[in-house]
Amino acid sequence: MTVKTAERLVLDSHAVLAFLEGEPAGRRVAEVLTDGEPWMNPINLGEVVYVVERNRGKVAADDVYALLLAAERPGGGVPIRWIPVDVALVRRAASLKVAGGLSYADCFAAASAAILGCPILTGDPEFRAAERAGISVAWL
């Protein structure tokens, strides 16, 4: 019997929003949330929450915030793991911002992937800049 190794991926806000909105690309995110090893950082959590609040209101944003932080996923699955915003992450994000092509929040997602040594899951074409910087991208 072969044991399946969980796929480690950093979730970009684009990927999480695709999942929350029930977009076709969100099915891949659902797979990672079911039996993968999903990672995020608090900067990108805030990005997801502010987009949800802007589009659907504070109650919806609070629900999404709680869902993403939950230790137990409704209907099963794995919790998101959190990379801390520390000086190493800030410095890596700042260097990526200098290189250009990514928003500052996206730099934190890309820096998280670089530090963890895993791909970032996204459908945002801006992340071609992350690929140019040597960061692996798993495209939705």
pLDDT in tens, 100-129: 999 999 999 999 999 999 999 999 999 999
pLDDT digits (tens, 9 = 90+) for 3-51: 345 789 999 999 999 999 999 999 999 999 999 999 999 999 999 999 9
The dihedral built from the CA positions of residue 71, 74, 77 and 80, taken in this order, carries a sign that is negative
User: Region 120-140: what's the mean pLDDT?
Assistant: 97
* Contact criterion met (CB below 8 Å) for 82 and 115: no
Instruction: Indicate whether 2 pLDDT > 70.
Output: no
pLDDT digits (tens, 9 = 90+) for 80-99: 999 999 999 999 999 999 99
User: Region 38-65: what's the mean pLDDT?
Assistant: 98
Q: Name the average pLDDT for the chain.
A: 94
Residue 5: what pLDDT?
Answer: 57
Residues 108, 126: Cα–Cα separation, whole Å? 13
User: Region 68-79: what's the mean pLDDT?
Assistant: 87
Sheet with 37-40: strands ordered across = 81-82, 37-40, 8-11, 120-122, 137-139
The residue assigned the tokens 């690309």 is 25
The residue assigned the tokens 């960061």 is 135
Residues 136, 30: Cα–Cα separation, whole Å? 20
The architecture that CATH gives domain 8-139 is 3-Layer(aba) Sandwich (3.40)
